[in-house]
Amino acid sequence: MTKVPLTTRQIPDRLTHPFQSALFSWQSLLLLVAVTIFIVNCFATPYFLSPWSLSDATFNFTEKALIALAMALVIISGEIDLSVAAIIAFASTMMGLALQFGVGTPGLVAVGILTGLICGAFNGVLVTGLGLPSIVVTIGTMSFFRGLSFIVLGDQAYKGYPTSFAFFGQGYVWWVISFEFVLFLIMAVLFYILLHRTNFGRWIFVIGNNPIAAEFSGVRVRRIKLVLFCLTGIMSGVAAVLLTSRLGSTRPSIAQGWELEVITMVVLGGVSILGGAGSIIGVVLAAFIMGLVTFGLGLLNVPGIVMSIVIGGLLIAVIALPILAKRLQQRNIK
């Protein structure tokens, strides 16, 4: 009886893979792009390297990036929220109304964040409770919240916020390091831990990949999605506090068009628009890239409409490129 040799399957050295994946990951590419843009800006204008100019650059993206952190979780779960800019406007309007009744700085902050939470919960209930598509719901509430702001304010503006309130959007923690920037870094760490180091974060990825399977596995899909919409509302409320404080006034047109920039940050950061994949590190890097691009263009006196074209083109590119790459890969396999 002849002995049949056993076939063995060799497993590649696993130690090489983390290095290779880190070297060629999307995050590494984003870091390279950010460094390249930084160098280009240094040569494009002599004012860019000034410490105060770099500090001003952080004001250019921190408020949007705070919302992008929460938006990333919503999109990874397979949903989307297009009402974030309108929530900012409505939360700012509510702060303005509170100001008219003599509410102080702590109360104004509480009103802004609580308004954002209520708006986010309203979106979440419509999506999870009634089973409505999130894109349809948030398009509707985008008009609803913004419309309420215009009804309350009309062509008027609320001004006269307390001096202490100005710290949130204009204050500095140390030298040129703003309170907004420090808050963004802290929230980025917290959202990183939440998404990548907790069971809650794992459930978000599971839901984004297959919500039905997640439901059968015991994951409370609707409750988690409701929490995510509430988180997006809270971060929009925080952004409303910062933006209102920085501008020193409330207008119904505040944060107009921000939803596009927030979603661009998220998708550019490597979050799949179809859900189920993404990282907070990528979103943070994408926020820095967009901040550097828009601030650099601003120093060169590039019109705002050109910036809008750049952002729109960037959004189309980051959505289309992975699809094209996948099709090319499938064609090569055939």
Listed range (43-52, 179-188, 216-225, 264-273) with the worst mean pLDDT: 43-52
Note whether 237 and 163 are within 8 A (CB): no
The domain total for the chain is 1
- The answer as to whether 144 is a domain residue is yes
According to the per-residue pLDDT averaged within each range, which of 8-17, 38-47, 263-272, 296-305 is highest? 263-272
Of residues 45 and 277, which shows the higher confidence score? 277
In the block, residue with structure tokens 């993404």: 278
Is residue 30 in a domain?
no
How much is the pLDDT for 310?
A: 76
Residues spanned by the domain of 163: 51-315
Whether residue 7 is predicted with pLDDT greater than 80 in this model: the reply is: no
Residue 323's pLDDT is: 72
Residue 18 has pLDDT above 60, yes or no: no
Helices (H), ranges, the chain: 16-23, 26-44, 51-59, 62-76, 84-100, 105-124, 134-153, 167-170, 179-196, 199-209, 211-216, 221-247, 258-268, 280-299, 304-333
Residue 282 inside a domain? The answer is: yes
The CATH number assigned to the domain holding 153 equals: 1.10.3470.10
* Weakest mean pLDDT among 27-36, 98-107, 195-204: 27-36
Whether 327 maps to a domain, the answer reads: no
% of the chain surpassing 70 pLDDT: 91
Closest CA to 192 of 72, 19, 291, 84: 72
**pTM strictly above 0.75:** yes
Output the pLDDT for position 15.
39
Q: Do the domain assignments include residue 26?
A: no
Task: Say if residue 170's pLDDT is above 50.
Answer: yes
